[in-house]
Amino acid sequence: MRITAVARQESGFALLAVVLVLALLSVVVTEFAFSMRLEASMVRAYRDSVLGRNLAEAGIQQGIREVLSDSNVQGLDEDGQVIFYSRPQGTTADTDLKRVPTLNRTQVPLGAGAFTYRITDEEARLNVNGGAADRMQRLLQAIGVDKIDRDTIVDSIEDWRDANDTARSNGAESDDYLKLPVPYRARNANRQDTDEVLQIKGVTPEIYYGREDKPGLSEVVSARSRGTINVNTASAPVLAAMGFSDAEISDVLSARKTTPYASPPTRFGGRRVTVGSNTFRIESEGIVGGDVKTRIVAIVQKSAASAGAAPSVAILSWRPMPLTGPPKGEAKKP
């Protein structure tokens, strides 16, 4: 009886040991499987990001192909994108315009994914490095900024750009920005990118990114355009900034709906308006598995063809963009 009890006790210990070993093996196998799935997911994410970047870059290149077309007049389609027209030399009649065929810009298949891109006119925007305070005043008024904030922003924009450290009456210089929780200095030179405007005194995210009923500065200003405005592509606030009256703006927006102007109307002489642009913004998305993996925004400028040489394009700006939307709300300013 005693031997039987000992045997039973030993069998119990053996069973317990087997159960513990199986439990440990189960934990190890589960952890190994989880690690393998995590690693596989990381590899897929990296692969998709690389593929998405290449697809987005392909979209930029196809956009450049359109920019290089034989076009000297640009207009807008129903989605606000640039469409290209060719006007024979020496002609000025709108009926002489010939539309250049537009390439497919949406969900263009390529390899294991696709790309989508938009082309907008950088010369439909007001150049923030132009140094014309009255134009910026009118632009800010057109997008709904009140007078006190307008005066602050206009003076601060000029202070940011000028070479001295003397602030205007409503402006700010490096001494003001260095007092912020995250200090920085004024550039004291031309802005290199429109996002610099967010650093300027008086410019809140709401003013920069806009509201549902009003555009923001990010949609109507440029740091890269030539300084002239394309009357065929400029928005109402930009036309207002150039000194157009409400009646003139309404007339322009109505007239260009069907056919863009082939040449600037003589009644708009002296307002630095054109009908052809050389600087464009291309926004491209790389799509893999139906999801956007990469966004890239490039600003390119077309140079005129010279004797024996085709026109070329210079890339003025190239940067990846976040997949999420811009921040909203107010930002604390000096």
Sole residue written with tokens 């009118």: 138
Q: Please enumerate in sequence order all residues whose Cβ is within 8 A of that of 34, keeping only pairs 6 or more positions apart, or say none.
A: none
Sole residue written with tokens 């027209």: 85
Say if strands 82-86 and 73-76 run parallel, antiparallel, or are unpaired.
antiparallel
Query: Which tokens sit at 65?
Result: 């192909």
Q: How far apart are CA 138 and CA 131, in angstroms?
A: 13
Position 186 scores a pLDDT of 94
Degrees, nearest 5: CA angle 329-333-334: 170
Three-class DSSP labels, 213-272: CCECHHHHEECCCCCCEECCCCCHHHHHHCCCCHHHHHHHHHHCCCCCCCCCCHHHCCCC
CB neighbourhood size of 159 (10 A): 23
Sole residue written with tokens 């003076």: 155
With beta carbons less than 8 A apart as the criterion, state whether 115 and 217 touch: no
Instruction: Identify the H or E element spanning 57.
Output: helix 2-67
CB neighbourhood size of 258 (10 A): 8
Residue 78 bridge partners (DSSP): none
3-state SS class at 202: coil
Position 130 scores a pLDDT of 84
Cα first-last separation, the chain: 92
Query: pTM of the entire structure?
Result: 0.83
Q: Sign of the CA dihedral 207, 150, 186, 300? A: positive
Q: Which residue in 242, 244, 245, 246 sits closest to 229, CA to CA? A: 242
Degrees, nearest 5: CA angle 233-326-280: 30
Query: Which tokens sit at 156?
Result: 């601060």
Query: Which tokens sit at 265?
Result: 């109307």
With beta carbons less than 8 A apart as the criterion, state whether 55 and 109 touch: no
Q: How far apart are CA 116 and CA 79, in angstroms?
A: 14
Q: How far apart are CA 89 and CA 107, in angstroms?
A: 36
Classify residue 220 as exposed, middle or buried by CB count within 10 Å of its CB (0-12, 13-18, 19+). Answer: buried
Per-residue pLDDT of the chain (334 residues; tens, 9 = 90+): 555 655 556 666 777 777 888 888 888 888 777 777 777 778 788 889 999 999 999 999 999 999 999 899 999 999 999 999 998 877 766 678 999 999 999 999 999 999 999 999 999 999 999 878 999 999 999 999 999 999 999 999 999 999 999 999 999 999 999 999 999 999 999 999 999 999 999 999 999 999 888 899 999 999 999 889 999 999 999 999 999 999 999 999 999 998 899 999 889 888 889 999 999 999 999 999 999 999 999 999 998 766 667 789 999 999 999 887 665 444 434 4
Q: How far apart are CA 173 and CA 187, in angstroms?
A: 9
Q: How far apart are CA 299 and CA 283, in angstroms?
A: 9
Position 313 scores a pLDDT of 93
Position 331 scores a pLDDT of 40
Q: How far apart are CA 274 and CA 261, in angstroms?
A: 9
Q: How far apart are CA 17 and CA 15, in angstroms?
A: 5
Rg, the chain, Cα only: 30
Position 39 scores a pLDDT of 74
